[in-house]
Amino acid sequence: MSSKCFVDGLNLANPQGTGIASYARSLLKAIRSIGHETGIIYGRNVSNSSNPALREILFFRDELVISPKKAILSDIKDIIRYKKSRKIQPYRIDLNIVDKLYAKNINNNIEYIYNYRNIFTISKKNYKTFHNFLNMVLDDAPQFMHWTHLVPIKLKNSINIYTIHDLVPFTHPNTVGGNHLLNWNIIADILKNGDHILTVSEASRRDIIRLFNAPESQVTNLYQAVDFEEALKNRPAHLVERDVNGLFGLEYGHYFLFYGAIEPKKNVKRLIEAYMAADCPGYPLVIISSRSWSAEEDHALLEQLKGRELPGKKKIIQLDYMSRSQLVSVVKGARALVFPSIAEGFGLPVAEAMCLGTAVISSTHPAIQEIAGDAALLVDPYDVDALSEAISAIAEDDNLVKTLQQRGPVQAEKFSMENYKKRLKDFYKKFGF
* pLDDT for 62: 82
What residues make up the domain containing 165? Answer: 4-225+417-429
* pLDDT for 108: 66
Q: Do both 255 and 392 map to the same domain?
A: yes
Q: Do both 306 and 279 map to the same domain?
A: yes
Per-residue pLDDT, averaged over 98-105, amounts to 75
Give yes or no for residue 343 having a pLDDT over 70: yes
Q: Do both 256 and 347 map to the same domain?
A: yes
Check which CATH number belongs to the domain holding 19 and give it: 3.40.50
Q: Do both 47 and 124 map to the same domain?
A: yes
Give the chain's domain count.
2
CB 168, CB 344: distance < 8 Å: yes
Q: Do both 72 and 212 map to the same domain?
A: yes
> Mind listing the pLDDT tens digit for each residue in 200-248?
999 999 999 999 999 999 999 999 999 999 999 999 999 999 999 998 9
* pLDDT for 311: 76
Check which CATH number belongs to the domain holding 342 and give it: 3.40.50.2000
Q: Do both 214 and 75 map to the same domain?
A: yes
Q: Do both 220 and 313 map to the same domain?
A: no
Q: Do both 299 and 399 map to the same domain?
A: yes
Note if the pTM is more than 0.85: yes
Give the gyration radius of the chain's Cα atoms: 23
> Mind listing the pLDDT tens digit for each residue in 379-412?
999 999 999 999 999 999 999 999 999 999 999 9
Percent of the chain clearing pLDDT 90 (strictly above): 70
Per-residue pLDDT, averaged over 129-156, amounts to 95
In angstroms, rounded to a whole number, what is the distance separating the alpha carbons of residues 156 and 245?
53
Per-residue pLDDT, averaged over 30-34, amounts to 95
Give yes or no for residue 152 having a pLDDT over 70: yes
Q: Do both 246 and 273 map to the same domain?
A: yes
Q: Do both 422 and 397 map to the same domain?
A: no
Q: Do both 333 and 194 map to the same domain?
A: no
Q: Do both 294 and 153 map to the same domain?
A: no
